[in-house]
A and B are shown apart, each in its own frame.
Chain A
Amino acid sequence: EDQVTQSPEALRLQEGESSSLNCSYTVSGLRGLFWYRQDPGKGPEFLFTLYSAGEEKEKERLKATLTKKESFLHITAPKPEDSATYLCAVLMFSGGYNKLIFGAGTRLAVHP
């Protein structure tokens, strides 16, 4: 069964304490992996797209990496404004069309 699993479910960090979020997937025919940030009551905000194993992308304090089985979102020296839910989504081909399957998300809280 196609599945996207994110861990941990929730993460509490002190400001400046670097960490990583994990997104593991078991899908046939991965076509891409997306990371989004979502603030409470708002729509997801696009962060990164990764297409092939070994690919890395960076934006400010965030860095996303991709292997054949999982992706990591590394947060370096986080600030309180980085607090949000981080969603990963896998693009797969299913039933004749491309489709995004979202993980359940990691709720990140960064405390001063």
Chain B
Amino acid sequence: DTEVTQTPKHLVMGMTNKKSLKCEQHMGHRAMYWYKQKAKKPPELMFVYSYEKLSINESVPSRFSPECPNSSLLNLHLHALQPEDSALYLCASSQAVVVDSYEQYFGPGTRLTVT
């Protein structure tokens, strides 16, 4: 099973709202990732968790707050977003962050619209 699930599929939120995106994998992977993808653009890395510890933050604004409660779950907490944050948010996982274990499996994404 190479499935990564994400909820919700779609989210519309105002600029003053607080919401969370959720991601789950049951492949025993120890690395999980958040990416942001704008229309007709490639995915851009936001955060990397390795063994439930944040190992990479790609200078993402503090209105995005990641959390990894356990090895299977990854959350992205959203607060005071801007309309330009509207995008497809993708979660991915891999066995680890070392070279021969870096094959990433992506979830279907959450389509976020900020109004």
- Given the known interface contacts A41-B88, A43-B90, the answer about A100 and B102 at a Cβ–Cβ threshold of 8 Å is yes
- Residue of B55, B97, B103, B108 touching A43 (CB-CB under 8 A): B108
- Given the known interface contacts A49-B103, A91-B102, A97-B56, the answer about A44 and B97 at a Cβ–Cβ threshold of 8 Å is no
Tell me which residues across on chain B come within 8 A of A51, comparing CB atoms.
99-100
A87 within 8 A of B: yes
A60 to chain B, nearest CB (A): 17
A42 within 8 A of B: yes
Quick one: which of A46-97 are within 8 Å of B by CB?
Answer: 46, 49, 51, 87, 89, 91, 97
Could you mark each residue 91-111 of chain A with 1 if its beta carbon is under 8 Å from any beta carbon of chain B, else 0? 100000111101111000000
Tell me which residues across on chain A come within 8 A of B108, comparing CB atoms.
42-43
- Residue of A46, A87, A89, A98 touching B99 (CB-CB under 8 A): A98
Q: Is the CB of A41 within 8 A of B109?
A: yes
A42 nearest CB neighbor, chain B only: B108
Q: Is the CB of B99 within 8 A of A32?
A: yes
B66 within 8 A of A: no
- Given the known interface contacts A43-B90, A45-B106, the answer about A102 and B97 at a Cβ–Cβ threshold of 8 Å is no
B92 nearest CB neighbor, chain A only: A43
Tell me which residues across on chain B come within 8 A of A25, comparing CB atoms.
none
What size tier do the contact residues of chain B reach? 20 to 34
Q: Is the CB of A43 within 8 A of B102?
A: no
- Residue of A31, A98, A104 touching B41 (CB-CB under 8 A): A104
B105 within 8 A of A: yes
* Most interface-central of B2, B43, B44, B111 (chain A CB within 10 A): B43
B89 to chain A, nearest CB (A): 10
Quick one: which of B66-115 are within 8 Å of A by CB?
Answer: 88, 90, 92, 97-100, 102-109, 111
Q: Is the CB of A98 within 8 A of B106?
A: no
A44 nearest CB neighbor, chain B only: B106
- Given the known interface contacts A42-B108, A97-B97, A98-B97, the answer about A103 and B102 at a Cβ–Cβ threshold of 8 Å is no
* Most interface-central of B42, B45, B88, B111 (chain A CB within 10 A): B42
A residues with a Cβ closer than 8 A to B are 31-32, 34, 36, 41-46, 49, 51, 87, 89, 91, 97-100, 102-105
